[in-house]
Every structure is written in structure tokens, then in C-alpha cells.
């Protein structure tokens, strides 16, 4: 019989994983401690914007016409333990308040709540991003708490999904990494992932610490790539070079590659910034701080981008924000997401507002979250409304609809035709032809 699966924590990661597992043919029970989330998901609604996820959910959640009925939700750990053979831990590990280290309290509490109910063979599979060493600690805790004793085990199976591509990344991952301590655990996970593996996804088996490290190392590398190109953007600005051409040219070397070399206002979101900080904190605890001291530089290059964008904006409006009207296109940390966690766009909008600018923000999907985080900014219902009367327009999240704006039409409604492209994705020629002063990070002015 196919193993039954539970998914503990139904945020971005968990909701997607639960829906995908059901779509692959498993009976799935999703658990969250927040009743409203469970109510929404049970009604086939996704609590965040993630393209394609609602369709997969509705295809599987019980109660929908034509649905497989393989997916249900609960708030009860006892029910989850009773139901599942494999329990995926998908709770989040945010940055701890006032510290670099990550907050493990959700992971810890999930294990403390589940383990005492494990009375038969079960595999708890961690997916959350955690400091290396956590898995070994949690495995010991499960052994202590579970009535099933040795028959309740822990494995670590990091997740590499990107917001905006969560469904695709979960259904067709580019690799599956499993940290295990027994053949039984490995075989069980091979069974769970049989479909993607049959489609050719590499399946890598490691020990627990390596599996945990794969995830943090991957995010550290991606952050490094972005900060590298942003450092090059700083040099380009000083030397009158063009970082977009530079990135294209170095990217042709396939040892370097073209991806993740888009210079701009830098990386944000709920993962990369907090993950590199937690990685540094953990390395410090392990006596390996020096090995990751370069990540401090990666972090500061990244944070400098935001300040630089604020300064370019100040310059564009004549040296002072007082009385200046600034239109901000984009609030989310990247397009195709409604996530504004540590969003460079919203951070820049906030800094300008706090320094006296009159900021009006528009974002296709992130308005509600942005308003909740930054209620004192002004929000407009469309891009056209946001730019009306603006002294300068900032393009801070590269939503497709911003690339399709007509600069000639917008030119009629602004006070001054000035645009700063914080993402290097607009077409400079198009904007300049329509009479705009177009400026981008790391590119020549004309
Ligand atoms: C990131 C990783 O890409 C995923 O592999 C990982 O699973 C996930 O974190 C996680 O740890 O959960 P995500 O946060 O969804 O995924 O977003 P990314 O697509 O990585 O973008 C992160 C930030 O980097 C965004 O603010 C984006 O605008 C910025 N970025 C990205 C650049 O500034 N330049 C680039 O060339 C690429």
C-alpha cells in the first residue's frame, strides 16, 4: 500500500507540497495550527497568491466536483499521527527578532506536538530551512518522545522551490536531496518521490548534516551571485560601463551562466536574506565563522542597493524629498508573488516616505500585504493612477504589466518625465524616445 502522507504547516511550502503530493496520487492530510488557514484550504482557497496552486488544490481537495478527494486538512496532531506514515515538516523558520539566528520555535513545537502520538512506524521528514545540526537534535527528541521508539525516525529533505514557480518546482524539482539514517527511510522516500525520479530528477542520498547544508549553501550561492553582479553595477556606475551588457557577456561562459545575474535593487523575500544571516550565525556557533565572513559582505552589498536607489531618487528630484511626489511601481519582493517580506521595493518606498517624500505605490498583487506592513504610504489602484502628477517614477518590481506600459501615454500625466529602473528590465530606448529621462542601476545615463 502506498504510504499515507501528512504535511505539517500549510504556508507557501506546505500548501504546495500537500497539493502536489495528492496530485501525485497519495492520500494527504495537511495540518496547521491556524484554523482560518485550514478553513480556507478546505474550501479550495489558497491564503496567498501563487500561480497555478489553487487549480492543483481544487483538483484534489475533498468536496470539489471532479476532485480526487485525496487531500484533507486538520488542526489535530493526534489525527495526523494516526493517519500518516510519512510526516513532512513544512513550518517556517523566520529570522529571530534582533538576532541573525533563525527562530526554530515552530519546528520545535511541531516535533514536540507530533512525536508523542507516533505509536507505529513513521518517518518524520524535515523540509524547513534549519541551522545545520538541528536534524540530529530533533531525531534524538523524537526517539525520546515517540511511543514507537526506534520505529519513529527522522529524515531531512530540503526544499528548493521558488515563490511564483512553487507548483512547477514541487512537481518537477531539479533535484531531490534526502538526508537519512537508515535504508528503510531511503526506500520510503524513493517510494514517495517515484514519479519525479522516473521523470529523470536526480535523487541524492546524504547524511543529515549534509542535507541541511545543501539548502543553506544553495541560498548562500544564489545570494552571492546577485551581490556579485550588483557589486559590478557599482563599478560600472563609477566607470561609465553597462552592467546589463557585462552580465550578458560573462554569462555566455557556461561555467558562470546567465541566470541570477540581474543587477538592480537586490534580493529580498522570506528566504535569501534571513538564510544567509542564519548560516553565518550557525557557522559562528560551530567555530567556523571565518568561512562565512564573506556573506557579511554579500549582505552589505545587497542592503547598499536600497540606500543607493533612495539617493538616486533624491538626486532626480533636485536634492530633497520635501514636497516631491514619488510614484513606486511594485511592492512585492519579486513578480508573480504577493509576498512583501523584506521587499527591497517596499523598503525603498518606506525610506523615501520617512524622509519627507509623498510616495504612492501600486502593485498588481501585493497591495493588501503592503498596506498591512506600511499603512502610512499612499496606494493607488492602477499604475496610471500611481504616476499621476509624479516628479519621478520608480520601477522596483519587474511585473510583466510594467514592461507593457506605454511611456508616451504616461508622459501626459506625470509632472516630470523621470524614470528610475531598479530592476533593469524596461526598454531604455522606448522611454527615452517618449521624452523621459531614463536612469538605471549600473548603466550609463544616456
Ligand atoms: C529562493 C531560492 O531561489 C529558492 O531556490 C529557495 O527554495 C527559496 O529561496 C527558499 O529558500 O525557500 P525565492 O525567495 O522565492 O526563492 O526567490 P528568488 O527567485 O530566489 O528571488 C529572491 C530575490 O532575489 C528577489 O528579490 C529577486 O528580485 C532577487 N533577484 C533574483 C535579483 O535581484 N537578481 C537576480 O538575478 C535574481
pLDDT mean values, one per 10 residues, the chain (446 residues): 96 96 97 96 94 96 92 98 98 92 96 98 97 98 96 97 94 97 98 97 98 98 98 97 98 97 97 96 97 98 98 97 97 96 98 98 98 97 98 98 97 98 97 97 89
Sheet with 418-421, strands from edge to edge, namely: 378-379, 358-362, 325-329, 392-395, 418-421, 437-440
Domain limits, the chain: 5-206, 216-298, 305-440
Q: Which CATH architecture has domain 305-440?
A: 3-Layer(aba) Sandwich (3.40)
Cβ proximity of 387 and 393 under 8 Å: yes
The best mutation among 170, 263, 271 to test binding of ligand 1, ranked by most ligand atoms within 8 Å of the C-beta, falls on: 271
- Separation of first and last alpha carbons in the chain: 66
Ligand 1 pocket mutation pick from 15, 168, 222 by most atoms within 8 angstroms of CB: 222
Query: Is CATH 1.10.1040.10 the classification given to domain 216-298?
Result: yes
Q: 267 CA to middle of ligand 1, Å?
A: 7
Are the beta carbons of 75 and 35 closer than 8 angstroms?
yes
CB of 160 shorter than 6 A to ligand 1: yes
Q: Do domains 5-206 and 305-440 have the same CATH topology?
A: yes
pLDDT of residue 253: 98
What is the predicted pLDDT for the residue at 445? 84
pLDDT of residue 204: 98
| Confidence (pLDDT) at 329 | 98
Sequence-ordered alpha helix ranges (H) in 252-365: 272-285, 293-316, 344-354
**What is residue 130's DSSP assignment?**
-
pLDDT value of residue 63: 87
**Does residue 331 line the site of ligand 1, with CB under 6 A?**
no
Domain 5-206 adopts which CATH fold? Rossmann fold (3.40.50)
Nearest to 128 by CA among 94, 152, 98, 99: 94
d(CA 257, CA 368): 36
Say if residues 244 and 254 touch (Cβ distance below 8 Å): no
Count of residues making up the chain:
446
Nearest residue (by CA) to ligand 1, atom 18, is 162
Amino acid at each position: 500500500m502506498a504510504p499515507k502522507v501528512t504535511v505539517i504547516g500549510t504556508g507557501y511550502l506546505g500548501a504546495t507540497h500537500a497539493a502536489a503530493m495528492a496530485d501525485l496520487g497519495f492520500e494527504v492530510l495537511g495540518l496547521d495550527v491556524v484554523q482560518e488557514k485550514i478553513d480556507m484550504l478546505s474550501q479550495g482557497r489558497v491564503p496567498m497568491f501563487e500561480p497555478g496552486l489553487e487549480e492543483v488544490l481544487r483538483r484534489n481537495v475533498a468536496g470539489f466536483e471532479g476532485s480526487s478527494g485525496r487531500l484533507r486538512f486538520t488542526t489535530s496532531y493526534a489525527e495526523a499521527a494516526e493517519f500518516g506514515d510519512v510526516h513532512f515538516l513544512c513550518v517556517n523558520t523566520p529570522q529571530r527578532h534582533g538576532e541573525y539566528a533563525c527562530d526554530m520555535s515552530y519546528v520545535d513545537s511541531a516535533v514536540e506536538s507530533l512525536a508523542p502520538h507516533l505509536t507505529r512506524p513513521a518517518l518524520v521528514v524535515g523540509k524547513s530551512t534549519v541551522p545545520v545540526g538541528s536534524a540530529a537534535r530533533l531525531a534524538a527528541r523524537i526517539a525520546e518522545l515517540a511511543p514507537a521508539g526506534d520505529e519513529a525516525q527522522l529524515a531531512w529533505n530540503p526544499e528548493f522551490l521558488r515563490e511564483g514557480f512553487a507548483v512547477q518546482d514541487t512537481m518537477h524539482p531539479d533535484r531531490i536531496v534526502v538526508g537519512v539514517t537508515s535504508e528503510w527511510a531511503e526506500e520510503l522516500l524513493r517510494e514517495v518521490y517515484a514519479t519525479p525520479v522516473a521523470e529523470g530528477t536526480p535523487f541524492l542520498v546524504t547524511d543529515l548534516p549534509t542535507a541541511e547544508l545543501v539548502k543553506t549553501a544553495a541560498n548562500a550561492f544564489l545570494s552571492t551571485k546577485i551581490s556579485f553582479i550588483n557589486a559590478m553595477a557599482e563599478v560600472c556606475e563609477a566607470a561609465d560601463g553597462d552592467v546589463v551588457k557585462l552580465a550578458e557577456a560573462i554569462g555566455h561562459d557556461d561555467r558562470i551562466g546567465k541566470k541570477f545575474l540581474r543587477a538592480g535593487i537586490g534580493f529580498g523575500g522570506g528566504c535569501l536574506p534571513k538564510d544567509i544571516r542564519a548560516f553565518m550565525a550557525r557557522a559562528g556557533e560551530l567555530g567556523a565563522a571565518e568561512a562565512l565572513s564573506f556573506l557579511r559582505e554579500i549582505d552589505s552589498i545587497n542592503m547598499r542597493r536600497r540606500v543607493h536607489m533612495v539617493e538616486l531618487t533624491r538626486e532626480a528630484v533636485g536634492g530633497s524629498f520635501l514636497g516631491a511626489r514619488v510614484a513606486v511601481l511594485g511592492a512585492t519582493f519579486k513578480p508573480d508573488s504577493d509576498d512583501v517580506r523584506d521587499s527591497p521595493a517596499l523598503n525603498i518606498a518606506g525610506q523615501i516616505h520617512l524622509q519627507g517624500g509623498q510616495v504612492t505605490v501600486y502593485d498588481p498583487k501585493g497591495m493588501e500585504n503592503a498596506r498591512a506592513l506600511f499603512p502610512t504610504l499612499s496606494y493607488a489602484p492602477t499604475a496610471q493612477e500611481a504616476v499621476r502628477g509624479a516628479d519621478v517614477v520608480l520601477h522596483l518590481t519587474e511585473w510583466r504589466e510594467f514592461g507593457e506600459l506605454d511611456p508616451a501615454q504616461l508622459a501626459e500625466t506625470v509632472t516630470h518625465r523621470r524614470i528610475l529602473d531598479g530592476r533593469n528590465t524596461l526598454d531604455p530606448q522606448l522611454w527615452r524616445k517618449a521624452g523621459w529621462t531614463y536612469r538605471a542601476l549600473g548603466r550609463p545615463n544616456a
